[in-house]
Homo-oligomer: A and B are copies of this chain.
C-alpha cells in the first residue's frame, strides 16, 4: 500500500517537493497553496482536517516564523498551529524544517513524533551548492571585474566554504581560504587554493576584490574593515549574527551584502529536490528500522 503524505504550507520548494513525491508514487495532498502559485497536477486538501489524514505530514522551512501560524505565504487564510495541534493524532509522523524551540515544546507535549529534516547532514551538504551558486551570482552582478583573475578570500572551510572554493577556482579566480586547523589548511592547499590562518586574515586583506564569509561569528571587525580596500565587495553568507561588524562597515563605507537563505531564494526548485531526497532518506531509514 502506498504511503500518504501531506505537504502543509511553504513556498515553491514545498510545492516542488510535493510534485516529486507524487511522481515517485506517493499519494500526496497539499494544503496552504491557494493564491499566486501554479498547483496544476497536484491534489489539494479541502481543509486542515483533510490535510491531516495522511500518514506523513511535511511542514516547511521554517515550520513557523511566529510560533502561532504555520509558515504558508501562498495560503489565503492563516494556518494556525493551534488548529494543527488540535486535529493531528498522535500516530502521525511530522517532518519539518527548522522547528522553532517554542513549537518543538508543543509537539513534545502532545506526543507528536517529528523529525527536523533541516538538520540532516545530506541536506546541509547539498544546500551548499545552491548557496555557493547564489553567492557567485551576486559577485558576478556586483563586481566591476571578472571573477576570472580576481583575488577572492573565502573565510571558513566548512560545507559552503569548500564548494565556494571549488567553484571560484573553476571560474579562474585566485582563491585564498582561511581556516584554523592544520588539517583544513592542508586540504585547502590540496584544492589548489592558498591557505591562511583565520587569525591572520587582516594581513594583505587590502588585496582582495571580493570576500565571502561563511563563519557565523565576528571575523570582519574594525581592524579588518579598516585595512580593507574600499572597492572590495563583502558577501556574508553566515547565518545570524553574521560575520561582519555592520555598523563599522557602514561608517567606513564598505560594500557588504548579507545574503541569507540563498537556496530558497535563488534556486527554489533545486532546494525542493534536495528536501525531497532528504525526506526519502528519512522514510527509508524508518522503514528499515
Question: Are the C-beta atoms of A183 and B122 separated by less than 8 Å?
Answer: yes
Docked-complex contact A266 and B140, CB < 8 angstroms:
yes
B144–A12 contact, CB under 8 A?
Answer: yes
Interface contact B129-A182, CB-CB below 8 Å:
no
Q: How many copies are assembled?
A: 4
Q: 1/0 contact trace for A116-144 toward B, CB 8 Å?
A: 00001111011011100110110011011
Query: Which B residues are in CB contact (< 8 Å) with A182?
Result: 120-122, 281
A104 within 8 A of B: no
Knowing A122-B185, A170-B170, the reply to whether A140 touches B134 (Cβ < 8 A) is: yes
Q: Within the complex, which residue of B12, B146, B181 is in contact with A270, where a contact is CB–CB below 8 Å? A: B146
Closest to A139 in B: B137
A267 surroundings in chain B (CB, below 8 A):
143-146
Question: Which single member of B140, B170, B183, B273 contacts A137 (CB below 8 Å)?
Answer: B140
Complex CA–CA separation, A137 to B136 (angstroms): 8
Question: A172 vs B128: C-alpha distance in the bound complex, in angstroms?
Answer: 14
A189 CB, nearest partner CB in chain B, Å:
7
Shortest CB-to-CB span from A200 to chain B, Å, is 13
Q: Please measure, in the bound complex, the distance between the C-alpha atom of A191 and the C-alpha atom of B134, giving whole angstroms.
A: 17
Q: Any chain B CB within 8 A of the CB of A163?
A: yes
Question: How many residues of A are counted as interface, with CB atoms below 8 angstroms from the partner's CB atoms?
Answer: 46
Which residues of the partner chain B approach A130 to less than 8 Å between Cβ atoms? 146
Name the B residues within 8 Å of A183 (CB-CB).
121-122, 125
CB-CB nearest in chain B for A166: B191
A148 to B129 Cα, complex, angstroms: 7
CB pair B189–A126 under 8 Å, yes or no, is yes
Complex: how many Å from CA A141 to CA B268? 12
Complex contacts, A112 vs chain B, CB 8 Å: none
Q: List 17 A-B contacts (CB under 8 A).
A: A121-B181, A122-B185, A129-B146, A130-B146, A133-B147, A133-B148, A133-B171, A140-B266, A143-B267, A144-B270, A145-B267, A146-B267, A148-B190, A167-B170, A167-B171, A170-B170, A171-B171
Assuming A122-B185, A141-B266, what are 18 further A-B pairs, CB within 8 angstroms? A120-B182, A121-B181, A122-B183, A123-B186, A125-B186, A126-B186, A126-B189, A129-B148, A133-B140, A133-B147, A133-B171, A137-B137, A140-B266, A144-B268, A144-B269, A146-B270, A170-B171, A172-B192
